Structure 1
Amino acid sequence: METYYIRKKDRDTVEVEDEDSLMIIDTDVSTVTRLNGTGSQCWALLKERQSSESLARSLLTEQKQVTGDNELSRLSSDIQIFLDEMVHCGLIENEG
Structure 2
Amino acid sequence: MDIQGLSSAQKYAASRPATAPEPGTGGAGNMAANLARDFATTLQDTEATAKAAMTGQADPHALVQALAQTELAVETAVTVRDRVVEAYQEILRMPV
Could you state the TM-score of these two structures normalised by the residue count of structure 1? Answer: 0.35
Higher relative contact order (CA 8 A, sep 6+): 1
- Which structure shows the bigger proportion of residues in helix conformation? 2
Point out the structure with max Rg over C-alpha. Answer: 2
- Which structure shows the bigger proportion of residues in strand conformation? 1
